[in-house]
Structure 1
């Protein structure tokens, strides 16, 4: 399976297993979603379980909060992560706080799916990576998968979770893996490459990172599309990097991070989003607080630019293997 097929399979399984699961959003029903992630689900489960909505993100999430409080498990698709901002009040003020405000009487078992990142020349309003905003909110879980196997297992775990999950899907990975360069195919590097995704039910735990490459020289912390870029950079640079796919940003798997950095003594952080106040800043602080006496060089961040998303310069904006390799070398020279 590619990632689109894996996500579709996860929703199919959960719709079949749990009558309380409903899937809705803009164009997810008859059309099957703009990226085809919900294709065929309305035909199989009917328009009361999988249905289209108006273009009203705040209304989508407000409806989901009410559904969750009354026992349903909504899976809401925001067509592009860039469109999620009108719904942030419902996510932050209502969904994330419902368990606490009600002293546990109500929960918000909501999964919010949204394609994120660039790679399709979508311009400023179809290419953003807003994950850092949601990691700041207590009560929200933030997930970004990097491969089809994890995508399916993480989405099933998210739907089964009793609290709200923001599930961001890198659109560059929807139709298959790549090697970090935008113009080259790749032999999949993952433990479960495309095609090796079980048909049935399984879960990947939320809050648990994956060490996708063991190494001794430097720890690379990353997630989503940048996992593939980091793997290519390590291979092309010759630096013996240990690459960690965080998978879930909040709750963060601090134990895996600390064990790795204490072993290597160096750390490079890679993400596609802009640098200032990006999630890499939080990772840097966590590493500094927990691994200070093990660090042999300053922590290095390789990120997108601090600028509005540059449509015509999209592939220069992304951290590519060359920029990540330069970051690896800076860490080794420090």
Structure 2
């Protein structure tokens, strides 16, 4: 199954199993979604459950918040995460705050899905990685599925949450393929997951940087360096327990984050490690992030601006001392 199909199946299950659930967003119906995730769902469920919206993020995100407060379970699709900035007031000042400001009288069981990341030559305005921004906001849960399995099962858990959940789907992963374990029906959206165990260095990452980290670990293993790859997958709340346990054991750490380094989720993780595990470290914490520039359109410049497998390998070698 592809990551794209996993997302579609997750939406289909949600619509089938709960009559309170509906999907709304730009081009999700007739067009089938900007990345073809919702293709065919309009024919299957009709226009009352699959709702094309105007190009007005503040309006349809606000409508989704109102529907959630009224007892529905809306799934709101924002075409790409840069467009979510047009609805930042609704997300920050309403969805994330209403439960607190009402003293718990109102819940906002809203799921917002959006495409994120670079790597498809969509240039500076459509290649953002803003999930770290949203992970700054109390009242939100922020998910970044990096595997087909998580893309398939995270939505169910997100819809069961009484508070707003943001799911960031990386655009490069939509074509990724994997086999699903039929025994798995849900995933924990409160914890990170070790995707590859190791003893020499911890590589903490998420989203499309996960396959790059796994490829780097494969190469490093041939050189006798066992890298442990931790899929953060939940950016808020961060799973300190899994992160700290891994780094305490390996005593070295690389954080790979497609966001810009300044003020990023990688900076938050590095700060927590420095505060709580400073004396457990045998080497400085290293971060591999996107270059501090608007993402270029040109293919070779875009690749140069993004974290790559080669950078993970070289950084791991330098920290372990086998460069």
2:256 aligned partner: 270
Say whether residues 1:112 and 2:95 are aligned partners.
Answer: no
Contact 1:266 1:299 in 2 (8 A): yes
**Distance between the aligned counterparts of 2:266 and 2:176, measured in 1?**
26
Contact 1:301 1:327 in 2 (8 A): no
1:188 aligned partner: none
1:209 aligned partner: 192
**Distance between the aligned counterparts of 1:202 and 1:46, measured in 2?**
26
Alignment partner of 1:301 out of 259, 283, 287: 287
Say whether residues 1:224 and 2:210 are aligned partners.
Answer: no
2:38 aligned partner: 38
**Distance between the aligned counterparts of 2:238 and 2:132, measured in 1?**
13
**Distance between the aligned counterparts of 1:230 and 1:201, measured in 2?**
24
**Distance between the aligned counterparts of 2:268 and 2:184, measured in 1?**
34
Say whether residues 1:241 and 2:227 are aligned partners.
Answer: yes
Q: Where does 1:169-184 land on structure 2 (aligned, <5 Å)?
A: 169-177=169-177
The 3-state SS of whatever aligns with 1:78 is strand
Stretches of 4+ aligned residues off by more than 3 angstroms: none
Say whether residues 1:315 and 2:303 are aligned partners.
Answer: yes
Shift of 1:231: 1.1
Say whether residues 1:72 and 2:72 are aligned partners.
Answer: yes
Question: Structure 1: which 5+ residue stretches go unaligned?
Answer: 178-193
| TM-score normalised to structure 1 length | 0.92
**Distance between the aligned counterparts of 1:170 and 1:3, measured in 2?**
10
State the Cα RMSD in Å.
1.4
**Distance between the aligned counterparts of 1:138 and 1:83, measured in 2?**
21
| TM-score normalised to structure 2 length | 0.95
Q: Where does 1:54-133 land on structure 2 (aligned, <5 Å)?
A: 54-133=54-133
Contact 1:21 1:73 in 2 (8 A): yes
Alignment partner of 1:289 out of 268, 271, 275: 275
Contact 1:3 1:173 in 2 (8 A): yes
The 3-state SS of whatever aligns with 1:316 is helix
Question: Structure 2: which 5+ residue stretches go unaligned?
Answer: none
Shift of 1:330: 2.7
Q: Where does 1:140-219 land on structure 2 (aligned, <5 Å)?
A: 140-177=140-177, 194-196=178-180, 198=182, 202-219=185-202
